């Protein structure tokens, strides 16, 4: 069986690996010069357990995310050949309720506890599946003394410790890239832009272009794992969404702290257009603050080719604005400024999701991220992971749909 996988980001690479392990011959296309070189390495790497989605009181988003999160480490161990504990991850996240939260502190507190109970139900018999973390311990509310030592008490209403972690996306990309490129059944074609896909007599034809011209390849199955170009490619086969969507360009800031600065706690601020602090175990810090880091919104089928690394003076504005906003909330960031972090990096990418309004709107569909997954039409399969958390789960789902006979190694 010959399968074309379109897009060499995390979803495309994981899907290619899952298919190749089932015996398929995979051709993996990517427009960039290297796999996993754009959005895949431009986020915080959060492996969501569902705590973030208090804006979806149905709990559907939380249940979806915990399903993906509990599958993530297992996928890495199986296909990367490394124990989950060997990957670079953050210290566990604290969920911080902001004074301007779109839901009350009591509502968010009740939501967090409900989600935690659901996580434990989902993890019965595999309580260590989430990167070896013990999920059974109850969420711990911080005391007033603890809270005031780490956060501005005029802004922060409550804090809860959770087991949720982030995986360093750059380190993960390096490992996935190596495993993908070295697999004998995967042929990587970088520098190839997929122009369209079309039904053929015996399968799906894919037209791509590159420096060496255009070419057409035929496949038994095609997987559309493009990130920001997925909707546009779907349309070449006549599949246009019947609901509104948004492409958002969001950046984040990464740096290593000066040696005399205390690392901040990992913190996710809820519920609304806020941001987070991620402290990785190797000393890397990631910050994002939505009002500063969101730079563009597009409702086009295919968004503009936004820059992964913003040019000056935008880079400096994002860095300074993010540090200023978060230093007013997080005590250990108060004395930091752009001048003290000369090596700080700013990078970002597109976020594509169903919805007509941004998360500033409490009723926005963007607060509900469960209507995602693998959509198949004959031999063409389009994968919408929603969040990186769901990538390995949907990679397995897609591979099993295409090649169910060899679902075990």
Helices 10-21, 60-80: inter-axial angle, 10-degree rounding: 60
Instruction: Give the separation between CA 29 and CA 275, rounded to whole angstroms.
Output: 33
Q: What is the pLDDT of residue 405?
A: 58
Determine, yes or no, domain membership for 223.
yes
**How does pLDDT run across 333-382, given as a tens digit for each residue?**
998 988 889 899 999 999 999 999 999 999 999 999 999 999 999 999 99
Determine, yes or no, domain membership for 203.
yes
Strand ranges inside 35-192, DSSP E:
94-98, 140-141, 156-161, 186-190
Percentage of the residues of the chain whose pLDDT score is greater than 90? 88
Determine, yes or no, domain membership for 234.
yes
Percentage of the residues of the chain whose pLDDT score is greater than 70? 99
- Mean pLDDT (the chain) is 95
Q: What is the pLDDT of residue 406?
A: 46
Determine, yes or no, domain membership for 136.
no
Instruction: Give the separation between CA 2 and CA 25, rounded to whole angstroms.
Output: 5
Instruction: Give the separation between CA 97 and CA 385, rounded to whole angstroms.
Output: 27
The SS3 of residue 322 is helix
End-to-end Cα distance, the chain: 17
| Whether pLDDT at 33 is above 50 | yes
Q: How many domains does the chain have?
A: 1
| Whether pLDDT at 407 is above 80 | no
Structural domain span for residue 182: 2-40+172-243+368-406
Determine, yes or no, domain membership for 125.
no
| Whether pLDDT at 5 is above 90 | yes
| Whether pLDDT at 408 is above 70 | no
Determine, yes or no, domain membership for 300.
no
CATH number of the domain enclosing 18: 3.50.50.60
pTM as predicted:
0.95
The SS3 of residue 353 is strand
| Whether pLDDT at 280 is above 70 | yes
Instruction: Give the separation between CA 30 and CA 8, rounded to whole angstroms.
Output: 5
| Whether pLDDT at 409 is above 70 | no
Alpha helices in 274-386 (DSSP H): 290-293, 314-327
The DSSP-derived string for 21-72 is HTT-EEEEEESSSSSS-SGGGSS--B---STT-TT-TT-HHHHHHHHHHHHH
Please state whether 357 falls in left (phi above 0), alpha (psi between -120 and 50) or beta.
beta
Determine, yes or no, domain membership for 395.
yes
Segment 251-261 mean pLDDT: 92
Segment 251-277 mean pLDDT: 95
The SS3 of residue 142 is coil
Determine, yes or no, domain membership for 110.
no
**DSSP character for 85?**
G
């Amino acid at each position: 069986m010959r399968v074309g996988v379109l897009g060499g980001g995390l979803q495309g690479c994981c899907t290619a690996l899952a298919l190749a392990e089932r015996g398929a011959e995979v051709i993996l296309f990517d427009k960039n010069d290297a796999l996993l070189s754009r959005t895949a390495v431009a986020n915080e790497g959060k492996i969501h357990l569902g705590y973030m989605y208090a804006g979806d009181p149905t709990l559907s988003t939380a249940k979806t995310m915990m399903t993906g999160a509990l599958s993530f480490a297992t996928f890495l161990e199986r296909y990367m050949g490394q124990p989950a504990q060997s990957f670079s991850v953050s210290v566990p996240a604290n969920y911080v309720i902001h004074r301007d939260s779109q839901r009350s502190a009591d509502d968010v507190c009740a939501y967090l506890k409900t989600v935690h109970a659901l996580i434990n139900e989902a993890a019965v018999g595999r309580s260590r599946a989430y990167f070896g973390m013990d999920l059974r311990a109850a969420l711990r509310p911080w005391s007033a003394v603890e809270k005031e030592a780490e956060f501005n008490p005029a802004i922060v209403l409550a804090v809860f410790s959770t087991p949720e972690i982030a995986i360093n996306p750059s380190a993960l990309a390096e490992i996935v890239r190596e495993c993908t490129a070295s697999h004998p059944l995967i042929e990587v074609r970088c520098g190839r832009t997929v122009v369209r896909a079309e039904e053929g007599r015996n399968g799906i034809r894919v037209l791509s272009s590159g420096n060496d011209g255009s070419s057409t390849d035929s496949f038994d199955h095609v997987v559309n794992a493009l990130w920001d170009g997925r909707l546009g490619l779907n349309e070449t086969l006549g599949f246009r969404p019947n609901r509104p969507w948004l492409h958002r360009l969001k950046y984040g800031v990464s740096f290593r702290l000066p040696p005399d600065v205390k690392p901040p706690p990992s913190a996710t601020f809820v519920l609304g257009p806020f941001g987070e602090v991620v402290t990785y175990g190797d000393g890397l810090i990631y910050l994002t603050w939505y009002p500063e880091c969101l730079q563009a919104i597009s409702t086009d089928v295919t968004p503009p080719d936004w820059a992964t690394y913003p040019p000056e003076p935008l880079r400096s504005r994002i860095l300074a604005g993010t540090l200023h906003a978060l230093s007013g909330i997080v005590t250990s960031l108060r004395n930091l400024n752009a001048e003290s972090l000369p090596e700080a990096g700013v990078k970002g990418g597109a976020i594509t999701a169903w919805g007509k309004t941004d998360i500033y709107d409490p009723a926005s569909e963007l607060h509900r991220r469960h209507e995602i997954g693998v959509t198949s039409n004959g031999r063409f399969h389009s994968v919408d992971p929603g969040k990186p958390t769901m990538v390995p789960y949907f990679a397995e789902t897609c591979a099993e749909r295409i090649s169910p006979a060899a679902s075990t190694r």
